[in-house]
Amino acid sequence: MRHKGKVLFATGAGSGLARAVAQRFTREGGRVAVADFNGDAANKVAAELAGAIALQVDVSDEAGMARAVGAAHRHFGRIDCGFSAAGIAETDPIEDWALERFNRHIAIHLGGAFLCFKYLIPIMKAQGGGAIVTVASVAALVAQKHNGPYGAAKAALLQLSRQVAADVAPFNIRVNIVAPGSIQTGMTEPYMLKRGNGDLARGAVLHAQHFGVQRVGQPDEIAAPVCHLLSDEASYTTGHCMVVDGGLTLA
């Protein structure tokens, strides 16, 4: 029950990694504002979690994010933790990217985290502390085929998070980053399905054959380290990028 009495604002929590974080955070005693562009998905996740609320928001929309964080703060009376995970993934040769699509990746991944910082940190400062985790990717660290705009957005997000970590450390606010490898979620399953010619299990095995652990990860294998980083157990850890990739980047 290490999050007892704590409140988490989590973006992208209608699915995948942030849904798993919301579920684990609730099991560990906390309450969650489940924020997602997909309002139906947010409602469904929140309905299954004790004390949770759902918020429909586009993380790249400043007015929307100000409203969503404000609504969560009014509802719970506090926000102790933030998890910025909303994201999209598309791959293409660089010459096939329209500038608008490139900008959308930056706006969601980098802008979404920026708006989390901008609207959560004043609340945490007033409360005397807090903890935020952002989601980068191994794509921020190594090159991946046709993944330039995504990797660039994640690399920038990594450095933004480190910069903010340094700025807010004196206010007892910690900011850490998780860099997942390949985790089976709504984002990655289409790639695995394609790889397995429609057979998801076979595609996941083929996809992971060069990873150290020889398998893709499951969302709770990211939720566990994230909930550690959000907890007081990580009280001396800030500005840290935790790579959780089953050895994908070791070779």
Ligand X SMILES: NC(=O)c1ccc[n+]([C@@H]2O[C@H](COP(=O)([O-])OP(=O)(O)OC[C@H]3O[C@@H](n4cnc5c(N)ncnc54)[C@H](O)[C@@H]3O)[C@@H](O)[C@H]2O)c1
Binding of ligand X by 37 (CB under 6 A): yes
Residue of 182, 207, 221, 225 interacting with ligand X (CB under 6 A): 182
Would you say 239 and 162 are in contact if contact means Cβ atoms under 8 Å apart?
yes
Stretch that binds ligand X, among 55-63, 124-132, 161-169, 195-203 (CB under 6 A): 55-63
Residue of 30, 82, 87, 151 interacting with ligand X (CB under 6 A): 87
Binding of ligand X by 23 (CB under 6 A): no
Binding of ligand X by 17 (CB under 6 A): yes
Residue of 186, 194, 214, 232 interacting with ligand X (CB under 6 A): 186
> Amino acid identity, residue 13?
A
Binding of ligand X by 60 (CB under 6 A): yes
Binding of ligand X by 152 (CB under 6 A): no
Which CB, 171 or 187, lies closer to ligand X?
Answer: 187
Binding of ligand X by 188 (CB under 6 A): yes
Reply yes or no on whether 150 is catalytic: yes
Q: Rule CB under 6 A: which residues touch ligand X?
A: 11-12, 14-18, 36-38, 41, 57-60, 85-89, 108, 135, 137, 180, 182-183, 185-188
